[in-house]
């Protein structure tokens, strides 16, 4: 296909595809799917080889969030039967992180529900970051605490944070359809604050909320302009008790096309398969490794993931290798400043799972609600974590 040859050439040169080309990737047929994966895989291997970076989530504070994000099981008004607890102590969080690191994770993502941290919360998380780094000198730590106020990103950086995650989630034009308690502009501002403080910015999207192809391309092009170093691609986990519980709009083939489009638009960034891969990619997960170079190991914030041992076996069986602590994730032109340096234009969750649009395809199989399992182990419980 001329389209795929063009996209590979552009990806190897870090050249932005046209919107029409990105939309064409999403519109390819199932008959052409393996050709799409192979083409995007060439771009992935050029910049990242066959390495897979492992990340591990620690939910520092679960549930009872005042925000109304429709996709989130921790949202205001959610009746999902998730774990609810207040802040983990630094030593508890450090112990939770240690499980992921022992399983091969290179980065620990510290997440807390809420609109954004108070200064006291920043101090608490700073103590947690220091506790984790005292035990694991080489670990990368990413914080995800919501909207940041002036000076907070700098304080996290001083405490030893390497990165900050705040996802755009969906297109600017449809953002108000999924959240009313803050704006798309608020999210963009927080990612820029992380950049300005010298943190490696992490920002991505959620697919599967009924969005159109145009919405998906809009948000990925916005991410390219915003220039995070890593782009998590979440697939909606339709939790019972949330407004989007009935949104089952994804097939494994649709997920692969979305990941391929992200890779073509953001060729040299860490593309991470985040929440919902087990629910929607299912047995096609190994193919997704040809598109993304990063995954979460084990469980997510409020849902259970694939067993950590199975993740490692999948990576090995697919012919990939786990990225070591001594390996630099990003290409040299992006990695000059620690976790990541930023050019003037380029590309770079909390929940699995945004926008509401017109052209999402109907899934070809029945919804697999049996795959949505609420997390009952790990942080906030007395049971061993999945790592």
Of 14, 44, 51, 69, the catalytic one is 69
What span, in angstroms and rounded, lies between the C-alpha atoms of 218 and 78?
Answer: 28
Active site residue 272: yes
Q: Is 266 annotated among the ligand-binding residues? A: no
Active site residue 255: no
Q: Is 65 annotated among the ligand-binding residues? A: yes
Tally the C-alpha atoms within 13 A of residue 88's C-alpha that lie toward its C-beta: 30
Q: Is 272 annotated among the ligand-binding residues? A: yes
Of 14, 51, 72, 124, the catalytic one is 72
Q: Is 109 annotated among the ligand-binding residues? A: yes
Of 144, 202, 266, 356, the catalytic one is 202
Q: Is 142 annotated among the ligand-binding residues? A: yes
Of 142, 266, 347, 356, the catalytic one is 142
Of 14, 44, 51, 109, the catalytic one is 109
Tokens 């697939």, located at residue: 235
Of 44, 272, 277, 350, the catalytic one is 272
Active site residue 109: yes
Active site residue 69: yes
CA–CA distance from 160 to each of 55, 100, 133, 218, 272 (Å)? 17, 19, 8, 33, 22
Q: Is 356 annotated among the ligand-binding residues? A: no
Active site residue 142: yes
Active site residue 144: no
Q: Is 69 annotated among the ligand-binding residues? A: yes
Task: Name the residue among 214, 219, 199, 234 with its Cα closest to residue 266.
Answer: 219
Tokens 């992380």, located at residue: 194
Active site residue 72: yes
Of 44, 51, 65, 187, the catalytic one is 65
331 conformational bin, left if phi > 0, alpha if psi -120 to 50, beta if neither: beta
Annotated binding site: 65, 69, 72, 109, 142, 202, 272
Annotated binding site for [2Fe-2S] cluster: 109, 142, 202, 272
Name the residues annotated as catalytic. Answer: 65, 69, 72, 109, 142, 202, 272
Annotated binding site for [4Fe-4S] cluster: 65, 69, 72
């Amino acid at each position: 296909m001329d389209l795929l040859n063009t996209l590979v050439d552009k990806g190897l040169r870090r050249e932005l595809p046209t919107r029409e080309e990105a939309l064409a990737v999403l519109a390819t047929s199932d008959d052409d799917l393996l050709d799409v994966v192979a083409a995007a895989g060439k771009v992935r291997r050029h910049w990242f080889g066959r390495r897979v970076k492992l990340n591990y989530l620690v939910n520092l504070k679960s549930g009872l969030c005042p925000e109304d994000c429709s996709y989130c099981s921790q949202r205001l008004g959610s009746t999902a039967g998730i774990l609810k607890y207040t802040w983990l102590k630094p030593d508890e969080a450090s112990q939770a992180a240690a499980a992921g690191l022992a399983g091969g994770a290179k980065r620990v993502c510290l997440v807390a529900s809420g609109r954004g941290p108070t200064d006291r919360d920043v101090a608490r998380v700073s103590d947690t970051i220091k506790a984790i780094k005292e035990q694991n000198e080489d670990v990368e730590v990413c914080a995800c605490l919501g909207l940041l106020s002036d000076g907070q990103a700098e304080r996290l950086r001083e405490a030893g944070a390497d990165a900050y995650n705040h996802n755009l989630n969906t297109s600017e034009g449809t953002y108000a359809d999924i959240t009313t308690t803050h704006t798309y502009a608020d999210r963009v501002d927080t990612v820029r604050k992380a950049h300005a403080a010298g943190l490696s910015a992490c920002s991505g999207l959620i697919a599967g909320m009924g969005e159109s192809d145009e919405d998906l391309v809009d948000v990925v092009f916005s991410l390219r302009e915003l220039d995070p170093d890593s782009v998590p691609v979440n697939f909606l986990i339709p939790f019972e008790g949330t407004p989007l519980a009935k949104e089952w709009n994804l097939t494994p083939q649709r997920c692969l096309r979305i990941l391929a489009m992200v890779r073509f638009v953001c060729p040299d960034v860490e593309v991470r398969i985040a929440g919902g891969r087990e629910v929607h990619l299912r047995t096609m997960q190994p193919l997704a490794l040809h598109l993304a170079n990063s995954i979460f190991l084990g469980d997510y914030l409020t849902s259970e993931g694939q067993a950590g041992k199975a993740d490692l076996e999948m990576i090995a069986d697919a012919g990939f290798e786990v990225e070591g602590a001594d390996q630099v994730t990003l290409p040299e032109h992006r990695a000059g400043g620690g976790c990541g340096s930023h050019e003037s234009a380029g590309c770079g969750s909390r929940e699995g799972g945004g926008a509401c649009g017109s052209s999402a395809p109907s899934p070809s199989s029945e919804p697999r609600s049996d795959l949505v399992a609420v997390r009952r182990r790990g942080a906030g419980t007395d049971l061993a974590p999945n790592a």
